[in-house]
Structure 1
Amino acid sequence: MSIKKQQHDLVVLDMAGTTVADGGLVEQAFTVAAERLGEDPAAMIGHVRATMGESKISVFRHLLDGDEARAQKANLLFEDAYGELVSDGRIAPIPGAAEAIATLGEQGRTVVLTTGFARVTQDAILDALGWRDLVGLTLCPADAGGRGRPYPDMVLAAFLRTGAVEDVRRIAVAGDTSYDMLSGVRSGAGIVAGVLTGAHDETALTEHGAHRVLASIVELPALLQEFEA
């Protein structure tokens, strides 16, 4: 897919799988949450893998047949379990991610980090990595009206809150899941890049709208410069 050559001064990046390596903690936390809820995690894990990147409350609503009370309880159990795993020091930056984000800033771009987790979990990750001051804005679904990916809301919230660009086509979005790609495409972002450090492979990323698939986020600064030359 051709990409119009223009400056992309707002960069919206996913966290887990894209800038953060969590070693499969999402699946582990889902397993813990399901067991604590009295459900069979083996019956849920296929859907969990297929919907990586979606807001977790939406995943639980589907898995629990729209039972809102149980979905909310499951979501809290998941966030608690994930927070416990994070506090054990079981996450790390994707190699070179912090440096890539710094390079994007040096190129004059505004970088926003987004997640499908709740704010408390996002903050726990940022604290564990020492990333509180890495970027000026971080967003979770609650910051964008409650809808996470594959809706475009978090990308558009970044657009509105930062005022970094006047045209959504000057946004670049990067993520590791099909839902990241859909969110970027639906927002009208000029560049939607997939990375192969997380949940989904090149075929899935491309089929859901990736303009380019990269080995990792480390390649993003050069990609943006390529399409702006």
Structure 2
Amino acid sequence: MIELAVFDMAGTTIEEHGAVYEALRHAVEATGVTVDPADLQTWMGTDKREAIAALVRIGGGTPDADLVERQYEVFRTYLKRRYEEVPPEPIAHADKTFDELRARGVKIALTTGFSADVALPLLASLGWSAEEGGNLDAVVTADEVRRGRPAPYMIHRAMEKCGVFDVRTVLVAGDTVVDLEAGTHAGAGVVVGVLTGQLTREQLEAHPHTHVVDSVADVPGLPEASAS
């Protein structure tokens, strides 16, 4: 039986209609480089400043610290506008998944490649919170740790916040390759790919995992998540 379920946000528990993909591409291409869609997908789910630096470099640019910070602000402004135009909403049955797992004694944490200044207003717009009385037990943003995904640090930070000691009792779920890599690097007992993002089953199954499911709605039905 798992003690902690760690879910990604955009594309896994939150439907944001491709806004992050668009905003990241816009921020990078505004520097004058071209972004290959495959490279962009590779960096989805990672810390957004790290993604901007890497994609500018891949495109032949020179991503010094000032440029990265400027383009992060471009990313943030573009994303805010897109969220105002088409508000994000919970992935179907995400709330029910949280409630079912918590009713079994499983703690719920969200991790994200966003920094807190983006992630927390997004969660507030959905009525989600890790505050007392909220529907979450922890939120970990990319700026809380030394490195974002595929490093395991956000998962370990979620364990710390939730008081979970044994990583083998942790389930990690996400829609990108770096979600699966982070879960594997962390040593999580259950690593789940979900198909509500941009990747196909075949693309996710090419990387270490224990399960690939249609959506987070399927997580409570996994054997490891069943009530003991």
The TM-score normalised by the length of structure 2 is 0.89
Structure 1 stretches of 4+ moved >6 Å: 226-229
Post-superposition offset of 1:144:
2.0
Equivalent position of 1:187 in the other structure: 186
In 2, Cα distance between equivalents of 1:149 and 1:129: 24
Look up the equivalent residue of 1:137 and give its one-letter code: A
Equivalent position of 1:11 in the other structure: 5
Equivalent position of 1:119 in the other structure: 116
SS of the residue corresponding to residue 221 of structure 1 reads helix
In 2, Cα distance between equivalents of 1:50 and 1:208: 13
Native 8 Å contact 2:176 2:197 kept in 1: yes
- Pick closer, same or farther for the CA change 1:87–1:123 going to 2, 3 Å: farther
Look up the equivalent residue of 1:205 and give its one-letter code: L
Instruction: Tell me which moved more, 13-22 or 200-209.
Output: 200-209
- Pick closer, same or farther for the CA change 1:94–1:171 going to 2, 3 Å: same
Q: Superposition pairs for residues 42-121 of structure 1, below 5 Å?
A: 42-65=34-57, 66-121=63-118
Native 8 Å contact 1:17 1:197 kept in 2: yes
- Pick closer, same or farther for the CA change 1:103–1:228 going to 2, 3 Å: closer
Equivalent position of 2:143 in the other structure: 142
Post-superposition offset of 1:44:
4.9
CA RMSD of aligned residues (A): 1.8
SS of the residue corresponding to residue 108 of structure 2 reads strand
Native 8 Å contact 2:46 2:148 kept in 1: yes
In 1, Cα distance between equivalents of 2:37 and 2:76: 16
Equivalent position of 2:60 in the other structure: none
Native 8 Å contact 1:27 1:45 kept in 2: no
In 1, Cα distance between equivalents of 2:41 and 2:167: 30
Select 2:18's aligned residue among 18, 24, 34.
24
Native 8 Å contact 1:86 1:128 kept in 2: no
In 1, Cα distance between equivalents of 2:4 and 2:70: 35
Q: Could you tell me which runs of 5 or more consecutive residues in structure 2 were left unpaired when the two chains were aligned.
A: 58-62
Count how many residue pairs are aligned between Structure 1 and Structure 2. 219
Superposed CA deviations along residues 90-118 of structure 1, whole A, max 9, x for unmatched, are 31111111111111111100100111011
In 2, Cα distance between equivalents of 1:51 and 1:92: 23
Native 8 Å contact 1:176 1:198 kept in 2: yes
Superposed CA deviations along residues 8-38 of structure 1, whole A, max 9, x for unmatched, are 1111000111000111101221243245x44
Equivalent position of 1:39 in the other structure: 32
In 2, Cα distance between equivalents of 1:76 and 1:134: 30
